[in-house]
Amino acid sequence: MAIPPRPADLKVDGVDPCTLFTEAQLAELKVWKRRAVIGTSEIYKGAKQCALEVTSPGKGYDYRVTAVTTEGIEPWLTGKRNVEAHLTSVAGHAAARFYFRGSTQMNSPDCTSVVDVAQGQGLRVTMSIDLRGSFTLDQMCQMSEQVAGFAVEQLRASR
């Protein structure tokens, strides 16, 4: 799959993902708690992450924003990972939007968007829900793309 050229290189080396959101954006997203964490998964072990926690009656959810310095969006689009992935665009950059294979509109626990920000790097945003069925898969994917768009805008503005 051909990935369109990125409009700018926005390297995420040394970037704290928690700094990629304005107070106005956090208020719009209804984030009540923001905290820096370090990735523990095999693929992103040691990566800087930011947990954005949102609480809404009956719809608890959060976002996990990761500054990925070990791979771009390509691995998600090859079909070799256990995800259903689609090439999309976020803030003018190519992005991979994906969720676990077999997910349906009402049973998926999350949706992830990874934005192509530099060669071999990505800005990854996962939207996860506490209660399945509180959002559709399409809603979760749109929400992850919105947060990724905010982060890319701030990353661009910081250059």
How many C-beta neighbours within 10 Å does residue 156 have? Answer: 15
- pLDDT score of 120: 96
- pLDDT score of 43: 82
Count of CA atoms in the C-beta half-sphere (13 A) of 107: 5
Encode pLDDT of 32-83 as tens digits: 899 999 988 888 889 999 999 997 666 789 999 999 999 999 999 998 999 9
Encode pLDDT of 97-147 as tens digits: 999 998 888 788 899 999 999 999 999 999 998 876 678 899 999 999 999
Nearest CA to 61 out of 48, 52, 69, 71 is that of 52
Pairing of strands 61-68, 48-54: antiparallel
pLDDT above 90 (res 149): yes
User: In sequence order, what are the residues at sequence separation of 6 or more whose Cβ sits closer than 8 angstroms to the Cβ of residue 112?
Assistant: 97, 98, 99, 124, 125, 126, 127, 144
Task: Annotate the chain with DSSP letters as a single string.
Answer: -PPPPPSS----TT--GGGS--HHHHHHHTEEEEEEEE--STTTTT-EEEEEEE--TT--EEEEEEEE-S--SHHHHSS-SSEEEEEEEETTEEEEEEEETT--TTT-SEEEEEEEEETTEEEEEEEEESSTTSS-HHHHHHHHHHHHHHHHHHHHHT-
d(Cα 69, Cα 118) in Å, to the nearest integer?
Answer: 9
- pLDDT score of 44: 87
